[in-house]
Every structure is written in C-alpha cells, then in structure tokens.
Chain A
Amino acid sequence: AQSVTQLDSQVPVFEEAPVELRCNYSSSVSVYLFWYVQYPNQGLQLLLKYLSGSTLVKGINGFEAEFNKSQTSFHLRKPSVHISDTAEYFCAVMPPRGGSEKLVFGKGTKLTVNP
C-alpha cells in the first residue's frame, strides 16, 4: 500500500521569500504524484502532477516540484511567495494502472505568508 508523509504541518514564511514544502512517499511500485492547494473553506485545486518523463514539473501560480525516485520525494517549491499563496497544500499519490485508481493524501502543510 502507498503512503504519503508531509514532513511539516505548518510553514511560516515572509512575502517574497522562497519556500519548499516537503513530501515523501512510500511505495513498492512506481506511482503518480500530485500536489493540490486548498484555500480556506474551499475545495482542492490541482497545482501540478508527475506521471512520467522529466522529473522537474512546473505547475500553476509559479510552483514547481521535483520527483526524486531514489529519495522517494516530491518536494514543492516556489522561488518567491505572495500573501495570496497562504493556503493548505496536499501531496498525493496514486498507484499505477491496474491498481484501484485511488488517491492517497498526506496530512497537509499549512503555508502562511506574512508581510
């Protein structure tokens, strides 16, 4: 079974600073990887996904993530954050074709961007 660990439950940063939100996964097979963002009292929105190919994935709102198979990580980065990036971020994995097609989510990281 797959599992996801988001290493930081809360990350405070100042506006225009860089940020990295960490995600590690455990799986005995290849997986697909996703990052979602949730603004307060709203649903989730996809930021980016890794299915195959280049290990550096670019998403919306200036975010990017790098897939590292040897370290089983998929960390999310942004070089310069804005106040509007304050939200909760979820890393998720999905087993490969032939599995249950279910997303398994981490517990989330709350990013707070301070002025």
Chain B
Amino acid sequence: DGGITQSPKYLFRKEGQNVTLSCEQNLNHDAMYWYRQDPGQGLRLIYYSQIVNDFQKGDIAEGYSVSREKKESFPLTVTSAQKNPTAFYLCASSIRDSYNEQFFGPGTRLTVL
C-alpha cells in the first residue's frame, strides 16, 4: 500500500537534546512538507521541499532543520534552539505543481521533559 510513514509515534526527549523525526513516502511525490500542530492553533508550516536537495523555510522554521537527500525521505531535526518543542508533528507529501491533495502521515507526538 502506498502512503506516508512517520516514526516513532511517540517520542520523549530531555531538554537540550536534538531529536530527529522520520518521514518516508512511497507515493512517488516530489513535494514534502513538515507541519507543527498545537492545541487550538491549527497546523503551521515548518519546512517544505519541492525537489531532492532543495528545501525552503516555512512560517516557523527557527529551531528546526531538514534534509532531502532522497525523494522518499524528508527527516526533521528539532534542535535545542527550539524554545518550545513539545507538539504533534505532521509530515505530508503531494505531487509537485499540483493544486490537489496533500497526503498526511499519522504524526509523531514529541514531548520534551
């Protein structure tokens, strides 16, 4: 089955540690996205990539970093510079230059202790 996988589903880290969230898709989509979801805030775009080896900052990129070395993979690193990292993180993908559906993964809930 085609889709997007995110791992792990739950992640706990100590304050000051960097952590990397995994996102893999087998939909052959060029574009991939990372969103952060906080209660009552909707989804906010962190980073997006429309092609391998290229990515752009979204609205709340500070304290995050990404890489896009393979079409299928778009990992997100939450660095110690992110002041309030506890949140639900969603990865999505879509056909490039398409105004149609973004497909979402199941999400990773990150809790920083």
**Residue ranges of A at the interface with B (Cβ–Cβ < 8 Å):** 9, 32, 36, 41-46, 49, 51, 90, 94, 97, 101-103, 105-108
Bound Cα distance from A46 to B99, whole angstroms: 13
Q: Within 8 Å CB of B4, what residues of A?
A: 43
Contact A46–B42 (Cβ < 8 Å): no
Chain B, interface size: which category?
Answer: 20 to 34
Contact B104 A102 (CB under 8 A): no
Where chain A touches its partner, the secondary structure class is loop
The yes or no answer to B100 lying at the interface (CB within 8 A) is yes
Binding site for A on B (CB under 8 A): 4, 31, 40-45, 48, 50, 58, 90, 92, 97, 99-102, 104-107, 109
A106 to B42, CA, bound (A): 6
Question: In the assembled complex, which residues on chain B have CB atoms less than 8 Å from the CB atom of A107?
Answer: 40-42
**Bound: A44/B92 CA distance, A:** 9
Q: Which of B31, B44, B97, B100 has the largest number of chain A CB atoms within 10 A?
A: B100
Total residue contacts A-B, CB cutoff 8 A: 50
Contact of A43 among B99, B100, B107 (CB under 8 A): B107
Task: Note all chain A residues with C-beta closer than 8 A to B31.
Answer: 101
Which B residues are in CB contact (< 8 Å) with A32?
Answer: 99
Residues of A near B43 (CB, < 8 A) are 44, 90, 103, 105
Q: Give Cα A108–Cα B45 distance, bound, in whole angstroms.
A: 15
Q: Which of A43, A101, A106, A107 has the most CB of B within 10 A?
A: A43
Taking a contact as CB atoms under 8 Å apart, the answer to whether B40 and A108 are in contact is yes
In the complex, the answer to whether A43 meets B109 with C-beta atoms within 8 Å is no
The 5 A-B pairs at the shortest CB distance, nearest first, are namely: A43-B104, A107-B42, A105-B42, A44-B104, A105-B43
